[in-house]
Structure 1
Amino acid sequence: MMKELVLFDSNPIYFFILSLGFLFILIQLNWQKHQSDTVFLSTLILILTVLRLPFILYNQQINIDESSVITQAMTLWDRPIFWQSVDGTTSGPLNSYVLFLGKLLTGTFDYTSCRMVCLLLIIGTLIALYKALQSFFDTQSARLSLTLTLLFYAYNQTHDFIHYSSEILSIFLFSISLYTLASIQKTPQSSGFILGFVLALVPWAKIQSLPIALVFSGYGLYLCFQIRAYQGIISLVLGAISVTVLFFGFLLYYQVLGDFYLYYIEGNLVYGQEVSLYRRFHHLVAMLVKVFPFRDFLLISILLFLFAFRWFWKLEKSLLVFLASWFLITAYTIVKPGMFFHHYLLYFIPFLTFVNTFSLRSITRHFSYRTVQFNYTVALIVVGSSVWWTSLIRNTSYTNAEESKDLASNRVITTIHQYAGPGESLAIWGWWTEGYVMAQMPQAVAENHSVRCTTESPLMVDYQQRYLHNLKTNTPAVFVDAVGSTHNFPFVHTSAIHESIPAIRRYIQRHYQFLSRVEGVRIFIRKDRLAAVQKGIRYL
C-alpha cells in the first residue's frame, strides 16, 4: 500500500483520503488563533509536497514547455552563455539557470529534478505571500486566504498548471515584491533596494511580465514619496539599476547584446501581432469561464469579493488604484502574446490571493468569526474534494511513476545513442524537445525547436540563418527531423520539413547521411561519424 501511496499507482483513493486528512489538519490550525506561523507554514509545505509527489515522481513530459527549459538548462550547464548557446524565445535566462538547482540536488536534468525546483518556487511563493498578507492585513485572514490558494496548487492535476512553466519564477519574484511593498514605509532604504533589485529580475525571467513589474515599481515609488522617504526612492532605483548593469555587462562582455535585442526584444514584440486586441480579450474571458480548476478558484474569489464589496471602498485610494492597475495590467500581460495558453492564468494567483485576504478580513469583522470560518471550511472541503477528484478522473495518465523512470526507453533515442552519446550535442528539426531530454543531449542550435524558421514573420530569415550557423559551429553528430511523426508537436505543419529551407537542405545533404526512419522520425548521421562507427571506431 505504501508503494502505491507514494507512486500514486492503481489505488489513488488512498492519496485522496490522505489529502483530506491533511486539509482537516490545516483547517484546525486556522481555528487556533494563536498557533505559530512555523507550525502553519510547515503543515502547508507538507501538504503541498505530499500532494505534488505523483507529478514529481512522474519522470515524463507533462507539458512541452518543460522539455524546452530542461534542454536549455542542460545546454547551459556546459555552454553557459544565454543567447549564444540558447535562446528561450519568450522565456528569459533565469528560468533556465534556476534549474541548475535541480541538477545539484539530483545529479541530472530530467522532469523530476525540474519539478522539484518548481515545488521549491511555489513554496517560496506561498511563504512570501503569507508574510505580505500578514503585513497588509492580519494573520487569520492571511491563513484563510492562503488555504484556498494552497488548494489550487496542491489539489490541481491539470497539466497546464502542474508543470514547470515559465510563469512560476516570475510569480515567485512578484510575491517577494509584494512582501517588500508591505514593509517599504517602515524600512524604506533596505526595502526599496530589495524591491528594485527583485523587480528588475522579472524581465530576465519572463519579459511578458514586465508590465506587472512596472506597476509594482510605481506603487513602491508612491509609498516612499507619500512619507517623503526620498532615500527609499533612490534605493529602489539603485536596486533596479544594479541588476540592469549586471545583465547588460554580461551581454556586452560575451558579445550577445545584438542577439538579445533581436531575438528577445524584437522577437517578442512581433509575437502574436496578427491577433486583434478584441479577439485576445475574448479568448481571455473564455479561458476564465472554461478552464478547470482555475475557474473554480476564480468563482470562490468572486463570491468573497461580492460579500465584501461594500467595504472595499474604505481602502486607501492609492491601494485601490494599485489593485485596479494590477488587475488590468495582469489581464493585458496574459493577452499580449496573442497565444492563449492556460498557464498564463497563473499570473492572476497573487492578485486573487491578495483580494481574497481583504474580503475575508472584511467578512470576519462584520459577521460572527466562527460562522464565517465554519462556512468557509465547508466550502474549502467541498471545492478541494471536487477539484481533486475531477482532476484525477481527467488526468489518469500521470498515475504510474514506476513505468516512467527510464527516459531513454524509446527506439528513436536508442538509435541516436548508437552514433552519439549523452553530453554530445544534438539537433532536432521540428518541435520534439522531449527528444533532447530523453537522449540527455544538449541542443546544438540556439532554439530547440524550428517553428520560427518556418513561420512567416519579419525575423524568419534571421532565425533560418542562425540555425544554419549553429549547425556549422557545433557540428552535431546526429541531425533529426521529427516533422510528420507522432513525436512532433502538432503545432508544426507536416510541410515544415528541413528541406523546405534550401540552405539547410543543402548543408544536411552535403555533411549528413540519411540513416533510417524510426517511428516516423528521420535520422541523419554526420558522414565522418557514420564512417567511424561502421569501422568500429569508438566515438566517445
Structure 2
Amino acid sequence: MPIDKISITNLANKLLHYFGAMPDTYSTILISAIILLTFIAVIPVAYPKLANNKYYVSLFITIIIIAILFGRFPLLALELTNPDESLEIASAMTLTQDPVFWRSVDLGTHGPLTTYPLIAPLLFNIQIDYGSAKLIAVLMQLLSTILLFLTIRAFTSSKVAMLSVVPLVIFVSLTYFIDFISYNAEHPVNLLIAAALYFLAKFWQANGNRRLPLIFTAGLLLGCAPYAKIQSIPIAAAVFLFGCMAIYAKRSEENKVAPMLSTYIIGGTAATVIIICYVWFFGLYKDFMIRYIFGQFNYAGSNKFSGQSFAAFGSAFSKVNADNGKFFSLMAISSLLIVIIYLVYRKYKPHITTNPQPVDSGRRISNLTYYVLALLLLLIMSVIAVYLPGRAFHHYFLLISLPLALLSAIVVVVIYDKTTIKSVRILTILLYLSIPIAGQLYNRPYLLNFDGLFKQLLSIDSRFDQYITALIRQYSKPGEKMAIWGWADTYYVRSGLTIACKTGLTQISGDFGNKDYYLNSYLAELTTAKPPVFLDAVAPGQFAFTDKKIYGMERYDRVARYIQSNYTMVADVNGVRIYIRKERLGAA
C-alpha cells in the first residue's frame, strides 16, 4: 500500500497555527537566535583564538542554520506567490512523467538546472508543491550563505568571516519579500556562484596537484550557471576572471599557469559540451538553439536601453530595497563610511595607521586592492545582468545580494587588517553590523507581532479561485495533462495535472522572436497530447495576459478552430473559460 507523500505546505501550516496560538514564543526564539549569532561573531574580536576552534566555528554555522530556517518557516505555508514559481513546480511535475527538458517542458529564460532540483523532494517522499519549492529556495540561500562564509574564511580569517556574514544571514532569515522567498532561477544561480567561489578559495589554499581538481570544479560550476539562467553569464564571467587572477597569483615553478588555466577552461566548457550532447541525443538541438539560445538574445534584445528602461530599473530597485529593510543601500553606505573613516585616520595619523603584520597574514590574499576591484567588477556585472532583459522583475535583484555582501565583507577585511588603532577597528565593526541590521529589524515588525504576520500569511491565499480548480478536477484525473492559454500555471499545481504544451503564450506573443515557430509548436503539442482540459486564462485579474482583444486565442485562428472542433466550454469564471474535450464529456 503506497505511503502518502508529505506536504511541506501542510506541515508549515500546522507550525504556523501552533505558534499563532502563542506568538511571543516565536518572536522570542527568533530574536534570541539573531542576538546569539551576533554575539558569537563579535566575541572572537576580544578572544581571537576562539575563531580558530573548530567547535566554535561549527556552533556559528549551526546558529546560521537555525536563524535562517526558523525565520523562514512561516513563509513555507504560502502557496501562490509568484507565477514563475508556479511554472517551475508544474514543470517539475511534468518532468516526473517525461524527464527530458525541452521535449516535455520549456521555461523560456529558465534552464534545466533550475527545474530539476524541484524533483529532489520525491527522494524523501515529499510532495512537489509550493511548500517544497519554497523549502528548496531557502535551503539554496542557506547553502549560499554558508559557502560565502567559508570562502571569506579561506581567503582571510574565521574572525573576520564571522563578522562579515552576519548582515547577510539576518537578511536571508528575516526577508518576507514575496519575489525573494518564491523559488526562482536566481536561487540556483546564486548557489552555483557561491560554490564556485568556495572552490576557488580551496584552490587558493591547496598545494601541488590538489589544485587541479579544485580549479576544474570551480570552472564546471561557473559553466553550469547559464543553464540555470542564461542571464547569469555576466556574473559567471566576472567570477571566471577572478579565478584567472588567482591562477596567475599562484603561479610558481611547480604550478605553471598553462596547465591550471587549461584545466579551468575545460571545466568551464564541460557543462556546454554535456548539454549539446544531451540535446543532440534526444533530437532537440534545433529546439534548444531556437528556444534557449536565440530566444534569450531576442528576449534581451527587446531592451532598447532607453531612459524609460533605466527609470523602470531604478523604480524596481527602490521598491525591492525599501521592502527589504534597505539592505542593499545600507550595506553600501556602511562600507563607504568605513572606507571614509579609514582614509581620514590615515591622512591625519599616518604613522600609526598601517598594520605591518596583518591579522592571519599567512592566509590573506596578496594585493587585496586588485581583489577589491575584481569584486567591484562582479557587483557591476551583477547589476548589468539584472538590467539587460529590460523587464526589471523584482526577483532579478536577488542576483545582487551575494556580490554586494562579498564586496562589503572584503572592505571590512582590508580596513580591519590595515589598521592597529582599536577605535577604528571597533568603529568598523559597529558600522558594518549596526547599520544594515538596524534596517532589517526596523522593517520586520512581525518580530514583535507574530499574530500580525500569521493573519497576513493566511490572507494571501484567499486570492486563489478554488472554484476553477474544483471544475478542473471534476473532469480530469491526477497526473493527466492540461493545456493553458495564458499565464496561470498555478492551476496545474492545484489540480495535480501536468503540462500538455511546453510552449507558452509569452513565446507565442513574440517576446522571444520566431512567433510562427512557437505557434506551430503549440498546435503540434496540443494535437499530440489531446489534454482532457483546456483553460483559456486570458482574463481580467490574471497575471500578465488580461486583454482578450490583444492576447485572446480568438486572434489565432488555427488555435480557435481546433478548440471549437474538439472541446466544449463548460464554464466561464470571471473571464476564465474552462473547456473539456468532447470525448471526455461523452464518456461522462
Instruction: Calculate the TM-score normalised by the size of structure 1.
Output: 0.90
Which residue matches 1:45? Answer: 65
Match for residue 16 of structure 1? Answer: 27
The answer for the alignment partner of 2:77 in structure 1 is: 57
Counterpart position of 2:114: 95
Match of 2:363 in 1: none
Does the CA contact (< 8 Å) of 2:94 and 2:499 recur in 1?
yes
Q: Does the 8 A contact of 1:8 with 1:54 survive in 2?
A: no
Cα distance change, pair 297–450 in 1 and its aligned pair in 2 (3 A): same
Q: What per-residue deviation string (whole Å, max 9, x for no partner) do you get for residues 487-522 of structure 1?
A: x21444332121211111111111112222234321
Residue equivalent to 1:438? 494
Does 2:275 align with 1:219?
no
Of residues 427-436 and 265-274 in structure 1, the stretch that sits farther from structure 2 once superposed is 265-274
Unaligned runs of 5+ in 2: 1-12, 45-49, 347-365
RMSD of aligned alpha carbons: 3.0
2:333 counterpart (300, 303, 319): 303
Matched residue SS, 2:128: coil
Partner of 1:288: 317
Q: Structure 1 466/302 Cα, relative in aligned 2: closer, same or farther at 3 Å?
A: same
Measure, in 1, the Cα distance between the counterparts of 2:105 and 2:538.
21
1:105 to 121, 124, 128: 124
> How far 1:424 moved relative to its partner?
0.3
Quick check: 260-269 or 378-387, which moved more?
Answer: 378-387
| Aligned counterparts, 1:29-178, within 5 A | 29-33=40-44, 34=50, 36-58=56-78, 60-178=79-197
1:513 partnered with 2:568:
yes
Match of 1:195 in 2: 218
Match of 1:246 among 242, 267, 274: 274
Question: Which digits, 9 at most, give the CA deviation of each residue in 1:341-392, with x for residues without a partner?
Answer: 1111111112111122123234444343455545655546533321212899
CA deviation digits over 1:193-222, x for unaligned, max 9? 111111111111000001211222222123
SS at match of 1:270: helix
Displacement of 1:438: 0.4
Instruction: Name the CA shift for 1:206/1:372 in 2 (closer, same or farther; >3 Å).
Output: same
One-letter code aligned to 1:322: A
1:337 equivalent in alignment to 2:367: no
CA drift of 1:225 comes to: 3.3
The CA deviation at 1:265 is 1.0
What's 1:470 paired with?
525
Q: Do the aligned residues in 1 keep the contact of 2:170 with 2:437 (CA within 8 Å)?
A: no
Q: SS of 2:288's equivalent?
A: helix
Matched residue type, 1:166: A
User: What is the CA–CA distance in structure 2 between the aligned matches of 1:519 and 1:10, rounded to whole Å?
Assistant: 37
Alignment deviations for residues 436-462 of structure 1 (CA, whole Å, 9 cap, x no partner): 100111110103x42332347632222
d(CA) in 1 for partners of 2:493 and 2:391? 25
Structure 1 stretches lacking a partner, 5+ long: 534-540
Asked whether the 8 Å contact 1:83–1:256 carries over to 2, the reply is yes
In structure 2, do the counterparts of structure 1 residues 275 and 379 end up closer, same or farther at CA, with 3 Å as the change threshold? closer
Preserved contact between residue 484 and residue 535 of structure 2 (Cα < 8 Å): yes
1:158-201 superposed Cα distances (whole Å, 9 cap, x missing partner): 11211112100000000011112223344431221111111111
Does the C-alpha gap of structure 1 residues 186 and 144 become closer, same or farther in structure 2, counting only changes over 3 Å? closer
C-alpha separation between the residues in 1 aligned to 2:57 and 2:280? 45
Distance 1:254 1:18, change over 3 A: same
Structure 1 residue aligned with 2:355: none
> By how many angstroms is 1:270 displaced?
1.1
Q: Determine if the alignment matches structure 1 residue 28 to structure 2 residue 48.
A: no
> SS in structure 1 opposite 2:498?
coil
Instruction: Tell whether the 8 Å contact from 1:41 to 1:127 is kept in structure 2 after alignment.
Output: yes
| Residues 7-40 of structure 1: CA deviation (Å, up to 9, x unaligned) | 6647755433332211111112112211521100
Name 1:489's counterpart in structure 2: 543
* 1:98 match: secondary structure: helix
The answer on whether the counterparts of 2:216 and 2:264 sit within 8 Å (CA) in structure 1 is yes
Deviates more, 1:470-479 or 1:3-12: 3-12
Structure 2: how far apart are the matches of 1:321 and 1:403? Answer: 46
